[in-house]
Structure 1
């Protein structure tokens, strides 16, 4: 019997005590993802973020070094899960924040959701490992311990448009590889 959808541990994490994503309650739609490692997400506030905001607010010219610093401050951190996911061709795994992350830790997913396509599974670059993107708007660094829940995933079917032209390109890499 061909398996339809599910999760596997990425080979580099074999034997490291990771848990496959799981639903916490009977009617939970999302599968909870845990961090594969201890991970610290620095607070944006300790990285001169206020200085950059002040300059923008007062319409002052931002020095190139400050602009570069702002980009680094607002670059999301990728928390490894050690998990990959397989699914049907017309399905997608949507990653969403846990409701407790912004409240308790100041962590947000900067793009709102993550999209894991079916062809991301077992790609050559990273075996399809799923990462949870986060920014820390909290006042202090957020310390995530290995095994702590950091996001949730929902399997969904998607529909193509009537006039859809099926792309001929095959996935050539891992995270962010389908283009800009």
Structure 2
């Protein structure tokens, strides 16, 4: 069972278990690249280099599967350096990985840049952040409470 633990100072510590998939033993598991980083960098587990042409999207494997507590979701987000320098970003961003998913984690990349981009094995391609998912109960009502904004939508605030 995946569990939640308490650390000193009341900070919750969640255990997430990673499983390297066969043929990916030399790749690093997701890791933070600095002490205060929010995200864990993900590496490409491509067998051969993959070219991502302008406007093209491809699903890139990471070489691992994972198990996390039911209270968590993992979000896949772009790496800012790839986005700024090459126009490489994630579609469906942030992508959600549910706690009950046990397949290989893959990243949906798109090239919004002007030049082809080659993804090499072991290259850092995205980052993964873990978020707590609140327990929510859905109920139905005939009326909703009023607010100042009401039903004002896109552009309602004038900005």
Show structure 1 runs of 4+ deviating over 3 A: none
2:79 equivalent in structure 1? 98
Q: Name the TM-score, length of structure 1 as normaliser.
A: 0.64
CA distance 1:109–1:14, shift in 2 (3 Å): closer
Output the aligned Cα RMSD: 1.8
Q: Which runs of 5+ in 2 are unaligned?
A: 4-14, 140-159
What are the within-5 Å matches in structure 2 for residues 38-49 of structure 1?
38-44=49-55
2:66 equivalent in structure 1? 85
Matched, 1:36 2:11: no
Higher RCO, 1 or 2 (CA under 8 Å, sep at least 6)?
1
1:160 equivalent in structure 2? 135
In terms of fraction of residues, the more strand-rich structure is: 2
2:16 equivalent in structure 1? 5
Larger radius of gyration: 2
What are the within-5 Å matches in structure 2 for residues 1-180 of structure 1?
4-10=15-21, 12-15=22-25, 17-37=26-46, 38-44=49-55, 76-121=57-102, 128-163=103-138
Q: Which runs of 5+ in 1 are unaligned?
A: 45-72, 122-127, 165-180
